[in-house]
Structure 1
Amino acid sequence: MNIINRKPKKKQNREKSHIPFRLNFLFFIVFALFAALIIQLARLQVLGGASYQAMVNSTDKTIVTGNVPRGMVLDSKGRVLVGNSAKSAISYTKNMNVLSDKMYKEANELTQYLTVKTDTLSKRDQIDYYLSNPANLKKWNAKLPKSKKVAADGSELSTKKVYQSTIDLVEKTFTGLSDEQKQAAAIFKIMSGAYQLSTVYIKNSDVTDKEIAEISEHLTSLPGISVGTDWERSYPNGSSMRSIIGSVSTESQGLPEDSLKSLLAQGYSRNDRVGTSYLEKQYETVLHGSKSQSEVEVSANNQILSSSVLFKGQKGSNLNLTIDQTYQTQVEAALKKIYNQAKTAGATTYSDGAYAVAMNPKTGAILAMAGESNDRTTTEVSDDALGVINHTFVMGSAVKGATVMGGLMDGVITPTDNTLPDTPIYLVGTPVKKSVYPVGTFSSLTAQSALEVSSNIYMMHLIMKEANADYVANSKMNMSPDIFTKMRGYFNQFGLGQKTGIDLPGEAKGIEGATLDSGGNTLVGSALDLSYGNYDAYTLIQLAQYISTIANGGKRMKPYLVDSIQQTGTDGSLGKIETKTAPTVLNTIDAPQSYFNVVKEGMYNVVNGSNAWGTAHTLKDIKPTLAAKTGTAQSFARTDPNDSTSAQVETVTSSLVGFAPYDDPQIAIAVVFPNLTSDDGHYNTLLAREMITDYYKLNNIKE
């Protein structure tokens, strides 16, 4: 038996995997990530599920404010000059993150029940409404070229830029909306302009009972829409004092641009109504009141869940003025009547108007303020009471009381030694400088007599003494170069050429004439003109302050219109007085009463003296007696008020200041009729008569 020897077979090699190691490693990482994700999901669900569910159900609380009516303006007797009248209104409160397509649908539905004005709709407003329809927006976006959607680097352009490009494209062929669509567009414009959780008025004037009824019936399908009331300013006395009281912006006008940042910082909204001029503006923070506050609870998906009132709001406080409306009306009527007399006489061809003011010389309280502005182009006359504080005029001799006081205070005359020559002034190259009466009428005058006859010559000699002038007739005269500073310094102490501080914005300071010629020399002739009121220009309120300072013996009082600020009660009635204006002495003239007596006596003689050249003797019959000083200044006006290059014509500005009763002054007045062709009608004294006698009658002042 053959034994066959066999070699043992070698084991065959195992077949290697065709999957690379890196791919296996990648699978491992994916598996690990999925495992981690599953673990994290389990942790969130099991361990944190309750807390995250609470976050979903959480709410946020926001404070929402609402407007309140403005405070009233009342006269010194408690009569309403400016109030608020309630009116029905349809309002819209904008929800959180409400989209334009929602407002589009709501605006369309509102047109079924409401008619609004469309005259303020612009083409852009109409296009915005048109594109708020999602179908229209999609259609026009599809027409945009790619370059209007994607930037050069391939990134998408902002939604704002794409929308603007869409508007530009639509605008090329847009022909406008139908009348019905314009109604919806006007409503949509108001709604889209509102801030989140703010309230705007869809319609707040001429809302009909039918509109209120139909909208009230469909409120459930009109989210954010409410039926309520709004207010608007009412003026029981018509246009009287409107230029003093000022104006309030509308909701559409909102905050004025010039004070936008300041008001926003104070908590105002852009569409808030605010005072835009004069008293309404000056006392805005007082009249505006405190807004209502409501706490609104908003869910995580921006839905309003509830609202609760935290503060009902406080209506604005009221202004109690120093003006008695009855007297104010009388002064306005007298001014209008007498100015019409001047027009009838042909004296107002170049006239700017006429102005009058009365104040209490002891306190500064304004008793009346009136003005007539004359449009020389149309000859129409309109109320311009603010001209009392913001128009300046060369007032003439009415300021001579300040000139005499300056001479007394400077020491060049005294109460017992104040006689000066009444000889005209002859300067080289200048017409003779004299008074209105014939040369030689008086050889000399006392200060009192100079005021009575309104001597320009006396005032010029007085200033020459103050300036240490070396006067020789028909020769060049030199003066101390500080004469203008000295004279104006005395005038300023009485308020002439200084802002009075009245509680109204826009007061003018006045205009000072030049003091030096082109060669740097003192304008001697102009200094002499200044001495009798024929150079610098002042406001009428400055004249009232000046004569009040004379009347009360040296205290320059700050004029004011608001006597007190009074709260409004919860029931709408007048509440307690918050603040009371205290009379303010701006400065006291450092002079003995004997100086003031000189000026007062002179002004007494202006009315009650016996000299034939006295300028206001026609007022002598008024009892109790008053003191006054008239003024007539040479002035100039353009023949064409709209052309600054047109020829100038010489005119006359007539003025008057006075106080009464003489022994116990309770009223000081100032009037001016600028740029008359003639003052033969003595309009200044006619108006003074009516202002004083009306005040006496109204306040039962008897001799």
Structure 2
Amino acid sequence: MTEIRNVVADLARFKRRVIVIGLVVLGAFGLLCTRLVYLQVVRHTDLAEQAESNRTAIVPVVPNRGLILDRNGIVLASNYSAYTLEITPSKAGKVDDTIESLAEVIDITPRDRRRFKRLREDSRSFDSVPIRTRLSDEEVARFAAQRYRFPGVEIKARLFRNYPNGDTASHVLGYIGRINQREKEAMEDWPEEDVANYKGTDYIGKLGVEQSYEKTLHGLTGVEQMETSAGGRAVRRLASHPSTPGDTVMLSLDIKLQKLVEDMYGDRRGALVAFNPKTGEVLAFVSKPTFDPNLFVEGIDTESWKELSESLDKPLLNRALRGTYPPGSTYKPFMALAALQTGSRGPNVVVNDPGFFNFGGHRFGSPEGNIGGVDMRRSIQLSSNIYYYSLANEMGVDKIHDFMKPLGFGQVTGIDLGGELRGVLPSTEWKRNAYKRPEQKKWYAGETISLGIGQGYNTFTMLQLAQATSIVANGGVRYRPHVVLATRDTVTGQIKSVIQPPAENLGYSPANVAVVREGLVSVVTSGTARGVFAGAGYQAAGKTGTAQAVTQAQNTKYNARALEEHQRDHALFMGFAPANDPKIALAVIVENAGWGAGAAAPIARRVMDYWLMDQYPSEADMAAIRVGKATAPIGKPRPAGEMAWPASAAPAAAP
């Protein structure tokens, strides 16, 4: 049967379908055009930047770290460039297998592996960690030929810090090391511009001047815009903004004097700080034993770290800044000045010294024995313990504290080196805060007696003792101690002095200072240090001291031979010269060396000879000083100006 179709209806249906399909296609094209307009017009700039970033990479350019120089322009810290082989653990797969394969191409020692392991523990998985440093050109070529085998491994050209004088002045200079995780977290709180400036920086100052002047030495990070391949490899440089080297830091330190003092200590432990009393400039800042800061630059290995950290001599301890000691008899001149300034005792008051002092049923002895009647000058000259036992008892602990505090005892001096310890300048308030049990909080009158001779709770740094000596030498005028004189812009060569706070006059009576000075002069002319300063070409003033390293039982006679070496008394000396116009003031301690005149004063004499007379000890004299058997210089002194600079040292080139 033939189907009868409605052609007109079919045609109408077809037209409707065509129109719908056309509208759909037109709508699709409209959407496509709208999207194209949005991408090409509205988001053109943003997408162009993304496309460019896929083709290019912004690479930070780490600046050259600034130099550190001594007061004579001798280079104490510099830089050198070398290749390093580095592994990014997150990209390298099995790191141990990668290292084994690398060892077939480049020599990797067990020490390299230990250092890598320690550095990796302090880093994140996507940080680049060095496995080898100071690669030769041949080693670089061998690795480059087989680089395809080692994903996540690359060679980088890096700047390394160098300390050309090795362990000389290491506690002052400090060192740099890789930024650890704790330091990275601390950086998050820095201002945004400082964080940006450390992009690409892997090393930071850890101690000393390197740490205190980190941002000055670091410089300004530059950037390079690099065109990269699809695999992320740099193809060519498109643009660059060079980095700005860090400023040169110029110290007040005299490195030749510093080296002389360190050599005079030999294998002994101790500290010496020498000032220009009229400016607060630190001329020598010695802590013995020292350490080689170059060990830390590439990441110190476990064995070296263990040797340094576990040594009984504690070479990492900055004794001048963080070592606290009883000042012993070197405290007596300051007690004398306290008596004069507070009106507690006049200079001509005579006190009988029978060799002992009885108080509260206790007998406080004196190694000097019965020396009879002494006034203030003779009490300093003969180092009378009895004179100062009685003086401390008369003044009381709080009056002593209040006078000694402005001198800097038990206070942070504000020197431009981090980590300074305060020590202890006792008072009744201090004891209440220092102890927990009620009976411990109470101050007993008998505890005051030993304070007068620099024992008891008194513990100070050599920096504090040197500052106090400098103040007395300067007639009561106090300067803040500092080791940095100025900075020099590496680009322009402009030198900018580091501004120090104004001097403060403590208001001491010149007549009172003169009494103390006369006592100190008598020590080196006819007292305990007369043999050491015999024949000096200047008039020095000073005081020897002996301080207990461990507390002796009451009425027990001190016997050095019966004690372990680390338990024996310390030898101290404080002084300045010339006495009437001081140009140098210092404090020195030789740990466990006994008598101050036998071990500490000879070092001080040679320091003053160097600074004031341009004299350097003879070889025979140096040998005697190192073993604590020196008095006045022996042999013919050598002209200091003719002595060679420390090994590898040389004046810095002009900018």
**Normalising by structure 2, what TM-score?**
0.71
Q: Which residue of 2 aligns with 1:452?
A: 381
Question: C-alpha separation between the residues in 1 aligned to 2:640 and 2:472?
Answer: 21
Q: Which residue of 1 aligns with 2:545?
A: 631
C-alpha deviation, 1:569, in angstroms: 2.9
- 1:313 maps to which of 216, 234, 243: 243
Shift of the 460–303 alpha-carbon distance from structure 1 to 2, 3 Å rule, reads closer
Question: C-alpha separation between the residues in 2 aligned to 1:102 and 1:456?
Answer: 72
- 1:193 maps to which of 126, 129, 148: 126
1:592-631 alignment runs, 5 A limit: 592-609=509-526, 614-631=528-545
Q: Which residue of 2 aligns with 1:236?
A: 164
C-alpha deviation, 1:284, in angstroms: 1.0
- 1:653 maps to which of 564, 567, 570: 570
Question: C-alpha separation between the residues in 2 aligned to 1:314 and 1:376?
Answer: 36
Secondary structure at 1:499 match in 2:
coil
Deviation track 1:252-295 (CA, whole Å, cap 9, x = no partner) reads x5763673434595313486211122221111111111111234
Deviation track 1:386-429 (CA, whole Å, cap 9, x = no partner) reads 211101011111011211111111123345x5444446532232
- 1:386 maps to which of 300, 305, 318: 318
C-alpha deviation, 1:446, in angstroms: 2.0
Question: C-alpha separation between the residues in 2 aligned to 1:647 and 1:618?
Answer: 28
Q: Which residue of 2 aligns with 1:274?
A: 204
Shift of the 119–637 alpha-carbon distance from structure 1 to 2, 3 Å rule, reads farther
Question: C-alpha separation between the residues in 2 aligned to 1:210 and 1:303?
Answer: 22
Deviation track 1:475-500 (CA, whole Å, cap 9, x = no partner) reads xxxxxxxx322101111111111111
Deviation track 1:201-225 (CA, whole Å, cap 9, x = no partner) reads 7776232323444666799999999
Question: C-alpha separation between the residues in 1 aligned to 2:535 and 2:569?
Answer: 27
- Counterpart of 1:486, as a letter, is K
Q: Which residue of 2 aligns with 1:489?
A: 402
Deviation track 1:553-595 (CA, whole Å, cap 9, x = no partner) reads 112221111111112238xxxx221x31345456421222111
Q: Which residue of 2 aligns with 1:142?
A: none
Question: C-alpha separation between the residues in 1 aligned to 2:103 and 2:569?
Answer: 65
Q: Which residue of 1 aligns with 2:581?
A: 664
Q: Which residue of 2 aligns with 1:504?
A: 417
* 1:323 maps to 2:253: yes
Shift of the 701–400 alpha-carbon distance from structure 1 to 2, 3 Å rule, reads farther
Q: Which residue of 1 aligns with 2:25?
A: 38
Shift of the 100–634 alpha-carbon distance from structure 1 to 2, 3 Å rule, reads closer
RMSD over aligned Cα atoms: 4.7
Q: Which residue of 2 aligns with 1:59?
A: 49
Q: Which residue of 1 aligns with 2:358?
A: 426
- 2:470 maps to which of 525, 536, 548: 548
Question: C-alpha separation between the residues in 2 aligned to 1:272 and 1:360?
Answer: 37
Contact 2:543 2:575 in 1 (8 A): yes
C-alpha deviation, 1:631, in angstroms: 1.3
**Structure 1 portions without partners, runs of 5+:** 1-29, 127-185, 195-199, 340-352, 467-482, 639-645
- 2:485 maps to which of 546, 552, 563: 563
- Counterpart of 2:67, as a letter, is M
C-alpha deviation, 1:548, in angstroms: 0.2
Moved more, 44-53 or 77-86: 44-53
Contact 2:486 2:497 in 1 (8 A): yes
Contact 2:409 2:425 in 1 (8 A): no
1:396-411 alignment runs, 5 A limit: 396-411=328-343
Moved more, 50-59 or 663-672: 50-59
Shift of the 420–84 alpha-carbon distance from structure 1 to 2, 3 Å rule, reads same
Q: Which residue of 2 aligns with 1:462?
A: 391
- 2:218 maps to which of 284, 288, 295: 288
Question: C-alpha separation between the residues in 2 aligned to 1:270 and 1:211?
Answer: 25
C-alpha deviation, 1:313, in angstroms: 0.3
Contact 1:547 1:658 in 2 (8 A): yes
Question: C-alpha separation between the residues in 2 aligned to 1:210 and 1:519?
Answer: 69
Q: Which residue of 1 aligns with 2:303?
A: none
Question: C-alpha separation between the residues in 2 aligned to 1:520 and 1:226?
Answer: 62
Secondary structure at 1:425 match in 2:
strand
- Counterpart of 1:576, as a letter, is Q
- 2:64 maps to which of 47, 62, 69: 69
- Counterpart of 1:671, as a letter, is V
Shift of the 685–59 alpha-carbon distance from structure 1 to 2, 3 Å rule, reads closer
Contact 2:92 2:150 in 1 (8 A): no
Contact 1:116 1:203 in 2 (8 A): no
Question: C-alpha separation between the residues in 1 aligned to 2:21 and 2:107?
Answer: 61
Question: C-alpha separation between the residues in 2 aligned to 1:217 and 1:288?
Answer: 35
The structure number with the bigger radius of gyration is 1
Question: C-alpha separation between the residues in 2 aligned to 1:114 and 1:190?
Answer: 25
- Counterpart of 1:425, as a letter, is F
Secondary structure at 1:205 match in 2:
strand
Q: Which residue of 1 aligns with 2:445?
A: 524
Question: C-alpha separation between the residues in 2 aligned to 1:33 and 1:90?
Answer: 67
Contact 2:545 2:595 in 1 (8 A): no
- Counterpart of 2:358, as a letter, is Y
- Counterpart of 1:694, as a letter, is Y
C-alpha deviation, 1:628, in angstroms: 0.2
Secondary structure at 1:389 match in 2:
helix
Deviation track 1:152-206 (CA, whole Å, cap 9, x = no partner) reads xxxxxxxxxxxxxxxxxxxxxxxxxxxxxxxxxx99x999715xxxxx5777623
Contact 1:636 1:649 in 2 (8 A): no
Shift of the 394–270 alpha-carbon distance from structure 1 to 2, 3 Å rule, reads farther
Secondary structure at 2:372 match in 1:
coil
Q: Which residue of 2 aligns with 1:365?
A: 281
Shift of the 117–525 alpha-carbon distance from structure 1 to 2, 3 Å rule, reads same
Contact 2:309 2:316 in 1 (8 A): no
Secondary structure at 1:568 match in 2:
coil
C-alpha deviation, 1:326, in angstroms: 1.0
Shift of the 618–93 alpha-carbon distance from structure 1 to 2, 3 Å rule, reads closer
Q: Percent identity?
A: 23
Shift of the 377–307 alpha-carbon distance from structure 1 to 2, 3 Å rule, reads closer
Contact 2:199 2:221 in 1 (8 A): no
Shift of the 390–301 alpha-carbon distance from structure 1 to 2, 3 Å rule, reads closer
- Counterpart of 2:453, as a letter, is Y
1:164-243 alignment runs, 5 A limit: 193-194=126-127, 205-213=133-141, 229-243=157-171
**Structure 2 portions without partners, runs of 5+:** 1-16, 291-306, 432-437, 553-562, 616-638, 642-655
Q: Which residue of 2 aligns with 1:138?
A: none
Question: C-alpha separation between the residues in 1 aligned to 2:20 and 2:103?
Answer: 59
**Normalising by structure 1, what TM-score?**
0.67
Q: Which residue of 2 aligns with 1:684?
A: 600
Question: C-alpha separation between the residues in 2 aligned to 1:68 and 1:683?
Answer: 46
Q: Which residue of 2 aligns with 1:144?
A: none
Contact 1:335 1:371 in 2 (8 A): no
Shift of the 201–377 alpha-carbon distance from structure 1 to 2, 3 Å rule, reads closer
